[in-house]
Amino acid sequence: MGYVEIVGLRKSFSIRGHPLEVLKNVDLRVEKGEIYGIIGFSGAGKSTLARCINRLEEADEGEIVIGGVDIRSLDKQALLRERRNIGMIFQQFNLFEAKTVYENIAYPLRISKTLRKGIHTRVLEAAKVVGLSDKLAEFPGGLSGGQKQRVGIARALINRPNVLLSDEATSALDPQTTLQILELLKEINAKTGVTILMITHELDVIKYTCSRMAVLENGVIIENGNTNEVFGNSKSKTGEIFFKVYAEFQRGPEFTGGDGI
């Protein structure tokens, strides 16, 4: 059994009174300590899958087991405790503009009523990991995009999670900053052993960081396996389109082989 085990996951939304099935019997297995990539076009269900994993969205059916814990079976209080083991990095940073970097990083600990001394120690630790020790007194408005995402990563790490969900975390960043953030995530993974689910539409992100990957198409995982094997011999329509574009537009500054997408 994998560290993250998803079986038969289904999720629908009601659109003007009509059901829209977004996730359709999704099965996924991620091993402890790996960086696993999930790729798909916009609307494929990637973000919904991420939000179902930590129960920001409630799935209709299926199992979500993380480290032996059935996430869907937890009551409200048990879920709040378990969520501390699941960090999440968002595409749009989701920072509080009126709070300092220190306060943004500390926020998850403050709402869980951690003692002040414990908060201070953990914030300094997380800020050091992401290279922001000298920015703690600043506000998000004075930071670059890459620095803002580092704040988001530090906040996601503040509870020392076992799993990190990265939902399009580099989509709003330029290529050079993307590379820096990916290097940081790889370094964090190597040092802490945190399991990372890299959810993205960017092929170069997957190829640079992930040893295994899955392709999500219309709410269904249609292929998965070793990243190099999927890149080299895609069996899905989504995969074929992605990899054809990747091959045709491979150019520009060197980044995972020089990708211009």
168: phi then psi, degrees, rounded to nearest 5 = 55, 40
Residue 237, pLDDT above cutoff 80? no
Whether 221 and 173 share a structural domain: yes
pLDDT at site 261 = 29
Mean pLDDT is lowest, of 123-127, 231-235, 239-243, for 239-243
Mean pLDDT is lowest, of 10-14, 63-67, 101-105, 169-173, for 169-173
Number of folded domains that form the chain: 2
Whether 227 and 144 share a structural domain: no
Mean pLDDT is lowest, of 28-32, 79-83, 256-260, for 256-260
Whether 134 and 19 share a structural domain: no
Whether 244 and 169 share a structural domain: yes
Whether 46 and 173 share a structural domain: yes
Residue 17, pLDDT above cutoff 90? no
pLDDT at site 259 = 36
The chain-wide mean pLDDT, for the chain, equals 89
Whether 182 and 248 share a structural domain: yes
Task: Quick: pLDDT tens for 131-144.
Answer: 999 999 999 999 99
Average pLDDT over residues 6-24: 94
Whether 52 and 15 share a structural domain: yes
Task: Quick: pLDDT tens for 20-57.
Answer: 999 999 999 999 999 999 998 888 899 999 999 999 99
Using pLDDT thresholds of 50, 70 and 90, give the confidence band for residue 71. very high
Can you give the CATH number for the domain in which 216 is found?
A: 3.40.50.300
Pairing of strands 18-30, 4-15: antiparallel
Task: Quick: pLDDT tens for 197-216.
Answer: 999 988 889 999 999 999 99
* Alpha helices, DSSP H, located in 31-144: 46-53, 76-83, 101-111, 116-130
* Residue 44 · residue 11 · CB < 8 Å: no
Residue 88 gets which letter from DSSP? E
Residue 59, pLDDT above cutoff 90? yes
Whether 11 and 81 share a structural domain: yes
* Residue 112 · residue 165 · CB < 8 Å: no
Between 6 and 233, the more confident residue is 6
Average pLDDT over residues 237-245: 66
Q: Which domain holds residue 53?
A: 1-85+163-188+195-261
Task: Tell me how many helices (H) and strands (E) the chain has.
Answer: 9, 10
Whether 117 and 172 share a structural domain: no
Residue 145, pLDDT above cutoff 60? yes
Residue 83, pLDDT above cutoff 70? yes
Using pLDDT thresholds of 50, 70 and 90, give the confidence band for residue 229. confident
CA dihedral 39, 44, 49, 51 (to 10 degrees): 110
pLDDT at site 250 = 53
Please name the residues in contact with 75: beta carbons below 8 A apart, sequence gap of 6 or more.
Answer: none
Burial class (CB in 10 A: 0-12, 13-18, 19+), 253: exposed
Question: Of 44, 75, 81, which is closest to residue 167 (Cα–Cα)?
Answer: 44
pLDDT at site 258 = 38
Whether 78 and 100 share a structural domain: no
Whether 138 and 24 share a structural domain: no
Whether 126 and 251 share a structural domain: no
Using pLDDT thresholds of 50, 70 and 90, give the confidence band for residue 93. confident
Q: HSE of 222 in the Cβ direction (CA atoms, 13 Å)?
A: 18
Express as a percent the part of the chain with pLDDT over 90. Answer: 69
Express as a percent the part of the chain with pLDDT over 70. Answer: 90
Burial class (CB in 10 A: 0-12, 13-18, 19+), 37: buried
Residues 142 and 123: their CA atoms lie apart, in Å, by 19
* Residue 164 · residue 187 · CB < 8 Å: no
